[in-house]
Amino acid sequence: MGLVQVDTFTVTSAVASVTLTGIDSDDVYMVAVSGATVSNPVAEIRARFTVSGTAQTTANYDWADKFLRASATFINDYATNQTKTRALNNTGDSGGEGSNGIFYLYNFNNASEFSFMTIENVTENGSEARGYQGGTVYTVAEAHNGIQFLNDTTGNITSGTFTLYRVV
């Protein structure tokens, strides 16, 4: 098994969102995110799937995850009928804070199936290590050609490298 890079974006100045496109086969795709931070210290980076490069904002995202925290017990968390999905935990904006993640994308090029994504995320948020392990399904059968990452609250994504790969 190997990876073929499809698209990449490195945030060098603050942006509202990062969109990666290029999904054009029925292969599994993977997104790797490293060093992501946001301008609001309590914000999360969320995700949306794209059709022709446009993020889908309808309330069709269902997600579930286990939220792991170093300072407390884990939390089982979920939501249905959302306009975006979880991606990266509280990523912070000060020294030593940031988030990394691996996301696998399934059925994205298949207009007859729901697209879904697994989530693996680890974050250093000041004094605490955190993470998510879970997944998302978009409950409309349509083809998606990419994924958009955005700050969940006011503010921007201030750093990070976002790379889309095709798994071969």
How far apart CA 6 and CA 8 sit, in angstroms, is 7
Residue 97 confidence (pLDDT) = 79
Residue 95 confidence (pLDDT) = 66
Residue 94 confidence (pLDDT) = 63
Detail the DSSP E strand segments found in the chain.
3-11, 17-21, 29-38, 45-51, 54-55, 61-69, 75-82, 85-88, 98-106, 115-125, 128-138, 146-151, 157-167
Residue 72 confidence (pLDDT) = 84
In eight-state DSSP terms, residue 73 is -
pTM (2 d.p.): 0.94
Reading across the β-sheet that carries 157-167, which strands appear in turn? 3-11, 157-167, 29-38, 98-106, 115-125, 128-138, 61-69, 75-82
- N- to C-terminal Cα separation, the chain: 6
CATH class of 3-167: mainly beta
Residue 53 confidence (pLDDT) = 95
pLDDT digits (tens, 9 = 90+) for 50-65: 999 999 999 999 999 9
Regions in the chain scoring below 50 on pLDDT: none
**Beta-bridge partners for 103:** 31, 119
